[in-house]
Amino acid sequence: MSLDFDRIGDRLGQLEIELPSWGFADTGTRFGKFLQDGSAITIEDKLDDIAEVNRVTGACPMVAIHVLWDVEDPGKPDSLVEAAAARGLRIGSINPNVFQDQCYKLGSVSNEDPAIRRRAIDHLLDSVNLGKATGSDVLTLWFADGTNYPGQGSIRRRKQWFQEALREVHDAMPATMTMLIEYKPFEPAFYHTDIADWGMASAMARHAGERARVLVDTGHHLPGQNIEHIVAFLADENMLGGFHFNDSHYADDDLTTGSMNPYATFRIFLEILQAERDQGRLLPIAWMVDQSHNLKPKTEAMIQTVMTIQELFAKAMLVDLEALDEARSRGNIIDAEECLKSAYATDVREALGQWRAGRGLPADPMAAHRESGYQGKVAADRIKRKPSASSSYA
């Protein structure tokens, strides 16, 4: 089986992958941070790193920003927009933060205290305005709200407060903006999480309004969850809004995409391609990455992720959907599965390299990045600005 880029090249080229600013900063676990000499310190550093990924892949022109971490003055975002544009980038999704401040330890929009609920909603409204000012058309919402112990809170009342808050925020959005509601089964709320699964997120989106959709984080599922089933269901209901791509071995490990179960990611892409074929249109999906590179070099990890997504998407496009449907119609389970396995077993890397070269990009993005010496240069600069770190570039 070979890649027919006359057929799939344009679709692959439409795959713009938004990178998260926070994916380039020092991260760790709940026990502490693991420092890297070359990790980003400022938003300008983050933009530089994302521009480097975009330079070698040509697929990442958008940056997701976290309001409290990236925007010094949300009321004056011009400098951020200009800094991104100077690097060939544009602002992607706006990510509010209603989990960091101490007042939110018992919840944000579902807090028993109406003053705290109001503070959280006002921050979400400020984030909508930031989106307007930066040209962003996506508001991405993730909440840590939940409880740790039975009896700690009223689950039904918290649900109602969520519905009221999301409706208010939705009504304040411009017509060009989409609200994406993320879900997570646990952590940091270990008894119950207010938006714990795709069904709850979908219900919240319907309560919020017509421009609200569900965001599927591929790591936010319990072990054994059939994620492509969720994707197919949401796509058919016109409720699939976007992805946060990563991978996990246990649950929410935030590992690099495809590092644990690439066949699962391939199957997710196949469900999307089948839905697009059946609906006769490209699904309006926000393709985003959300990973924590505790140990991998930040920029290399992102390049590896983008290359992996492109490879798995190309493999999914190799599936002969007509042959698959024909095998299904005959009840031939073996032939149907072989349609998937044959496509997945195809090594697409060389063909992708030729496709990139034809678009004026490096055939091997990782090699081009390493040959540029970019990482050593930025590490030499950033290590001087870090309060404490052990240089590996000495």
- For residue 166 the two structure tokens come to 């999301």
* Average confidence (pLDDT) per 10 residues, the chain, 394 residues: 70 95 90 90 97 98 95 83 97 97 98 98 97 97 98 98 98 98 96 98 98 97 96 98 97 95 98 97 97 95 98 96 98 98 96 95 98 97 78 41
Nearest C-alpha neighbor of 307 from the set 360, 343, 361 = 361
Query: Would you kindly state where each structural domain of the chain is located, as residue ranges?
Result: 14-318
For residues 162 and 170, the answer to whether their CB atoms sit within 8 Å is: no
CATH 3.20.20.150 for domain 14-318, yes or no, is: yes
What does the DSSP assignment read for 351-377? HHHHHHHHTTS-SSHHHHHHHHTHHHH
Q: Exposure pattern of 279-304 as b/e (b: 16+ CB <10 Å)? A: eeeebebbbbbbbbbeebbbbbbbbb
Predicted TM-score of the model (pTM): 0.95
Q: Any idea which residue has 């713009």 for tokens? A: 16
pLDDT of residue 394: 35
Opening angle at CA 114, ends 110 and 118, nearest 5 = 85
Cβ-Cβ contacts under 8 Å for 391 (sequence gap 6 or more)? 37, 379, 383
- For residue 370 the two structure tokens come to 């390493």
pLDDT of residue 10: 87
139 DSSP β-pair partners? 94, 179
pLDDT of residue 3: 65
